[in-house]
Structure 1
Amino acid sequence: MTTAPHGLATVELTKSFGGVRAVDRASVSFHHGKINALIGPNGSGKTTFFNCVTGMIKPDSGTVTYRERDITGRPPHRIARAGIGRSFQLCRVFPRMTVLDNVLVGVRRNRLRDLIAGARQPDEVEKARELLVRVGIDHLENAEAGNLSYGQQKLLELAGVLMGDPETIMLDEPAGGVNPALIGRIGTLIRELNAEGRTFLVVEHNMDMVMSLSDHVVVFDRGRPIAEGPPSVVRADPRVLEAYLGI
């Protein structure tokens, strides 16, 4: 297991559904300050791993640590306060709310009912607008989120994550269902944000994106890591070829 004294790590993390172990005693760490990728065949446990780390589901056993603090099984809002933000495989936006209000929902003290009632803090509105400029959809500020393209919704979700100012950002398939131009935009944003000091952990099936973007790649198969290292090393690993191609 690669050491990462101030980053995100798991030891023997396990989660079963019925008789199936979705995450199977996974011990892995991710490089703090870098762009990490978590890849693997469909059904290899990547999203379940994300959900265990971010408090969406509780692991059956094992530990999750972040910056040398045990965060195992904490609720999502406490994980977020610890400095970890995340997106989801399927975009989670409020389709009838404006793009701006979707970003403001990312502020913990701004409850949804307050936004519906029109209560907004000027400093938070300013920050939300700056983030919409950052991700390139500020011209859609007053549009209903449900009218955005799927790629634009991905950018909106990222803006919402950034509203919480996380130190580590976990993205679940940011390129999934997105056109090539917006994939390039998402990749550029990840690089820029990483250069500013944010750590990334990205689950992605787009191998071109993974190999061109990542500093460190971890490969899952059947719920546990089978290989890790720089992209050039991982792509040539026989265990990875077997997991993906059966050869």
Structure 2
Amino acid sequence: MSLATVDLRKAFGGVVALDGATVTFREGRINALIGPNGSGKTTYFNCVTGMIRADSGTVTYGGTDITRKAPHAIARAGVGRTFQLCRVFPRMTALDNVLAAVRPGGVSGGLRGARHRAEVDRARGWLTRLGIEHLIDIEARNMSWGQQKLLELAGVLMGEPATVLLDEPAGGVNPALLDRIGTLVRDLNAEGRTFVIVEHNMDLVMSISDHIVVFDRGRPIAEGPPSLIRTDERVLGAYLGS
């Protein structure tokens, strides 16, 4: 299902973070959202996923208005996301982190009562697919930053979202793990999942994206395939300050 916003606006005091952002991210594609620091990318993700409330404008997913829905309702509708700073439970094992991500009642619900074998097997499956099954009984605080990013993503995927928003998946990740993330995104997209990726690593963006939207000062200034974006004068001007 497509994710779209119309005239989305958000200000923090006198600072305008989103200034009439009208965007449609294409279903079934690997979309990227790029732009210089302070261009509104993470604020956009936060408004779309209900983490903060936009001042005005609309957010739709699959044609349904989700503008005022709570984060958990948006997640249940099929939109999952990661964060710039990993959101994992540091004193919980990898397995418990993944289980807690989808159990009703959050952490307490995730750890209460007998575990269902099918659910545990599915959690193990995601840990294996992301290449961190060897960390299954390791607490998150004892993992590297890149491993924590993979763990967070495993928790998101445990919810089986149709659309996944990744906020700077390459940040602080070593090249080997970055290659693993890129391959995983391509494979999951081939299986039918839509992606929207906020990222500053242009090598990653240009290599995996089908469609790129460029933000500057809280609004889109260009969009299209990588071949057009890399030579667009408006994009070069936004990044280079010309």
Query: 1:12-91 maps to which residues of 2 (within 5 A)?
Result: 12-91=7-86
In 2: Cα distance, 1:145 partner to 1:227 partner: 39
1:110 Cα deviation (Å)? 5.7
Does 2:216 match 1:209?
no
Retained in 1: the 8 A contact 2:103–2:109?
A: no
In 2: Cα distance, 1:172 partner to 1:105 partner: 21
Retained in 2: the 8 A contact 1:57–1:73?
A: no
Equivalenced residue count is: 242
Retained in 2: the 8 A contact 1:103–1:160?
A: yes
Retained in 2: the 8 A contact 1:52–1:73?
A: no
Query: 1:1-247 maps to which residues of 2 (within 5 A)?
Result: 6-109=1-104, 111-117=106-112, 119-247=114-242
In 2: Cα distance, 1:117 partner to 1:199 partner: 32
1:117 Cα deviation (Å)? 4.7
In 2: Cα distance, 1:36 partner to 1:114 partner: 34
In 2: Cα distance, 1:35 partner to 1:138 partner: 26
In 2: Cα distance, 1:15 partner to 1:112 partner: 31
Residue identity matched to 1:75:
A
Structure 1 gaps of 5+ residues are: 1-5
Residue identity matched to 1:141:
I
**What does the per-residue CA deviation read over 1:197-240, in whole Å, with 9 as the maximum and x for residues that have no partner?**
00000000000000001000000000000000001101111000
In 1: Cα distance, 2:60 partner to 2:206 partner: 27
1:112 Cα deviation (Å)? 1.2
- Seen in structure 2, the aligned counterparts of structure 1 residues 187 and 141 have a Cα distance that, compared at 3 Å, is same
**What does the per-residue CA deviation read over 1:120-145, in whole Å, with 9 as the maximum and x for residues that have no partner?**
22221111000000100001100001
Identity of aligned residues (%): 70
1:118 Cα deviation (Å)? 5.9
- Seen in structure 2, the aligned counterparts of structure 1 residues 137 and 190 have a Cα distance that, compared at 3 Å, is same
In 2: Cα distance, 1:138 partner to 1:110 partner: 25
Retained in 2: the 8 A contact 1:104–1:110?
A: no
In 1: Cα distance, 2:185 partner to 2:64 partner: 26
In 2: Cα distance, 1:40 partner to 1:242 partner: 11
In 2: Cα distance, 1:238 partner to 1:73 partner: 36
RMSD of aligned Cα (Å): 1.1
TM-score normalized by the length of structure 1? 0.96
Partner of 1:3: none
TM-score normalized by the length of structure 2? 0.98
- Seen in structure 2, the aligned counterparts of structure 1 residues 209 and 59 have a Cα distance that, compared at 3 Å, is same
Retained in 1: the 8 A contact 2:19–2:217?
A: yes
